[in-house]
Chains A and B, each alone.
Chain A
Amino acid sequence: MNIIFQVQESEQVIRGMIEGELDTFTAPQLKEELEAMELAEGVYVEIDLSKLNYMDSTGLGVFVGFYKRAKREQASVKLVGLSSRLRRLFEITGLSDLMEIENEKRVELSNEGI
């Protein structure tokens, strides 16, 4: 069981991709990496979960913590590429009303307009 987190940063946009399984054993690692991410007002973070094979409630905790920090620092977070299972998890927990989530990974944005 392990997890890989890759990040691409440009000025105001951070894109992350999480691969693997997110559970009690791997959550601390992701938490640390997200905590190390520098956020500031106006920064937009998009995290792609399409290659996340498994997530339990500990993983959810990592995202909630990150979302709260982003909100405090006036950055915005969006989770994309959610499988139907993950979507259900966010819906049951009521987090889908709070955080921005999207099923399909959206088409790559061109540089214009960012």
Chain B
Amino acid sequence: MNELQKQYTKILADYIEEQTERNLYIGQNFIRQLLQKNIAPEEVIHIHKSAVEEIIDDFPISLRHAYDFLIEVMVHYGLALSEHKSLLQQQEEMQLELQVATNIQNMILKSHVPKIDGVDVGMISVPARKMSGDYVHFIDDKNRYIGIAVADVVGKGIPAALCMSMVKYGMDSLDYSESEPERVLEVINRIVEKSVDDSMFVSMFYGRYDVETSTFAYGSAGHEPALHYKAASQTYEELVAKGLLLGILPDGNYEQHEVQLQQNDLVIMMTDGVTEIRTNLEMDAMAIITSIISEHKHERAQQIVDEVFKQLEKMQNFELSDDFTLVILKKN
């Protein structure tokens, strides 16, 4: 400290003697040194006071009091400053942790599109923000059945991500014997209901395709109905099944229905990020989607979903307002 005091007194004396840019510059450099050494603001004033006392012979007592006063009040200023610094540091740490969490979420929630003879599945899921509230889960017995769950957690960010993980582990715990849609929805509802706060819930569509009989059984927990495109008549039909959102009541009753798929039929499952698109055109989102699909129905399922996303994104000026998930199952 003594060394710093001496240096500062010299710099100040030089400046009082001659107010040049150069002398000012030396002072600025000196302050930078103090910052690096983490000298608190009130200590800087103390150094200044001692320097003034030494340089000016008849330093009035009233000014001395004034400096003491400033030193006292700057103590609080210094405290606030260091608090601010540590908050910034904490924020940086949290952002880092959030990034790690996002990576983990992306890793554990990664869905692998199953490959089974006789059926072609395409999927696209794009988050609007860092963490997605949409989730697609496939149950695949590599033989006869494919189970497809498309879920949307209401609420965004970390709570939604945690909820999503619960759904995932719930789905993982099911075995194939329990993969009837009504059963799946009942089980997941019980898991979500127990552990979620009041304004958070999940909508989920679950369908199970039987390759041997070409039947698609499905149920819905408050989810957007899937569409069934019938190649023979070139028409779309909604696959409606009654059922309350997951996580609202402990006992959910879910309807289960079945539909028979013919060659080149499509089942189109989506989240409301797809149907709730806001475009400048006053057009029905569903009409837009079905027209894009009809145009590309001869392509592979993956190409169709990519094309729908590409065109809808263009309509929204490349800005997603909600997570976007679309899954198409095509019977070969």
B-binding residues in A (CB < 8 A): 23-24, 31, 54, 56-58, 60-62, 64-65, 68-69, 92-95, 97-98
Report the Cα distance A68→B243, complex, angstroms: 18
A62/B152 in contact, CB under 8 A: no
A98/B244 in contact, CB under 8 A: yes
B322/A94 in contact, CB under 8 A: no
Name the distance in Å between B282's Cβ and chain A's nearest Cβ: 12
17 A-B pairs besides A92-B223, A97-B244 with CB distance below 8 A are: A23-B321, A24-B321, A31-B199, A57-B154, A57-B203, A58-B156, A60-B154, A61-B200, A62-B199, A65-B199, A92-B225, A94-B242, A94-B243, A94-B245, A95-B222, A95-B248, A98-B244
Report the Cα distance A92→B225, complex, angstroms: 8
Name the distance in Å between B75's Cβ and chain A's nearest Cβ: 38
Report the Cα distance A65→B245, complex, angstroms: 13
Report the Cα distance A98→B152, complex, angstroms: 20
Cβ-Cβ contact count across A and B, 8 Å cutoff:
57
B244/A64 in contact, CB under 8 A: no
| Secondary structure of the A contact surface, majority rule | helix
B244/A93 in contact, CB under 8 A: yes
| Secondary structure of the B contact surface, majority rule | loop
| CB 8 Å contact bits of B67-97 with A (1 = contact, 0 = none) | 0000000000000000000000000000000
Report the Cα distance A1→B176, complex, angstroms: 46
Contacts A56-B272, A58-B155, A61-B154 given: A95-B244 contact, CB under 8 Å? yes
Q: Which residue of A lies closest to B276 (CB)?
A: A56
Per the CB 8 Å criterion, the residue count for chain B at the interface is 26
Give the top 7 A-B pairs by smallest Cβ distance, nearest first. A65-B199, A94-B244, A93-B222, A65-B198, A61-B199, A61-B154, A57-B154
Q: Which residue of B lies closest to A98 (CB)?
A: B244
Q: Which residue of B lies closest to A97 (CB)?
A: B244
Which residues of B lie under 8 Å from residue A23 when comparing CB positions? 321
Which residues of B lie under 8 Å from residue A68 when comparing CB positions? 198, 248
A-B contact pairs, 16 of them (CB 8 A): A31-B199, A56-B272, A56-B322, A57-B154, A57-B203, A58-B154, A61-B155, A61-B199, A61-B201, A65-B197, A68-B248, A94-B244, A95-B222, A95-B244, A97-B242, A97-B244
